[in-house]
Amino acid sequence: SLAAIGLLVAIITLDAFFHGINPPSKVETIDSARLHLSEEFAEDKLGVSVNEKGDVIVRMVAGRYSFFPKHIEVPAETKITFRWVSMDVLHGVHIPMTNMSTMIVPGYVAEITTTFPKPGDYPLLCNEYCGLGHNHMWSNIAVI
Ligand code: CUA
């Protein structure tokens, strides 16, 4: 059992230092009811943008029962940072073939960096039960 504990500590240490995986101690809060007034998540600020450092940032809002904006295009084999917020209740987002799988908790910004391995249409699925329309809450991302 000591060997098992040692192995777990080694895995946690490697993940923390080499993969940058840390406990969620840095949380970013946002007023879900006033997204339309926010500097980042107002309707005209959503979608794909490139910041001054050249990083691709995608800002999206989840709400019953869709992801907004409904259609985006992003490049393949490029590091893309997604920033998610919910306008109402708890949602989730999962994109198969990527590491994208997170809860979108109302009141908080969820940030995930991912890379799409190849061009194509990738489905975007809500994976947290959010109401009667949950199973219709999905969309597509065009990777070019
Ligand atoms: Cu949104 Cu389930």
Omega cis (within 30) before 69: yes
- Of the candidates 26, 29, 16, 38, the residue with the CA atom closest to the CA atom of residue 109: 29
Burial class (CB in 10 A: 0-12, 13-18, 19+), 136: exposed
Nearest-CA residue for atom 1 of ligand 1? 91
The 10 Å CB-count burial string (b at 16+, else e) for 85-111 is bbbebebbbebeebebebebbbebbbe
Q: Is the ipTM of this complex over 0.95?
A: yes
pLDDT of residue 17: 87
In this structure, the residues whose C-beta lies within 6 A of any atom of ligand 1 are 91, 126, 128-130, 134, 137
Q: How far is the CA of 7 from the centre of ligand 1 (A)?
A: 36
Domains observed in the chain: 26-143 (2.60.40.420)
What are the pLDDT digits (tens) for 13-55?
Answer: 998 888 877 766 678 999 988 998 998 999 999 999 998 998 9
Q: How do strand 138-143 and strand 71-74 relate by DSSP bridges?
A: parallel
Structure tokens at 72: 């985006």
Size (the chain), residues: 144
